[in-house]
Amino acid sequence: MAMSVGPADGGGDDTPMSDINTTPLVDIMLVLLIIFLITIPVIIRTVPVELPKAVNIPTQTKPENITVAVDKNGNIYWNDRQIDREGLLERIKQAAVQQPQPEVHIRADKEARYEAVGRVIYTIQRGGIVKVGFITEPDRGIRGTR
């Protein structure tokens, strides 16, 4: 690393130097890199916890389970029969008093509006059913088009 202080004969021009001195910038960047390399392993260390292993267990349909489907137009189906929201509420109220209480499985079309599915969930909640689940297709690693 050298530095020029002017011509050797002592005279010279008084024009400003147009080169940028990058040595201090490189020095600062190397120091920051070393600091990050030292502090990142300290930051990443957390409390040692053994996390549970999650396994997706296929749903076993029992005869007492109720399947409520919502198609892309917002139509509601109770075990493959089309009903309206008032009919759904009445049937949910009847099923809620059974012992043991059945589970309700919601199958919603991927094109169904969130509002339609939300109304079904609200109706099931008003009817008194405690266990509600969603039936989905398993991810087979195939990316769908949008």
Can you give the pLDDT at residue 12?
60
Residue 146 scores a pLDDT above 50:
no
pTM of the model: 0.53
Which tens digits make up the pLDDT trace of 67-116? 899 998 889 999 888 999 999 999 999 999 988 889 999 999 888 899 99
**Domain 66-134's class?**
alpha beta
d(CA 143, CA 92): 36
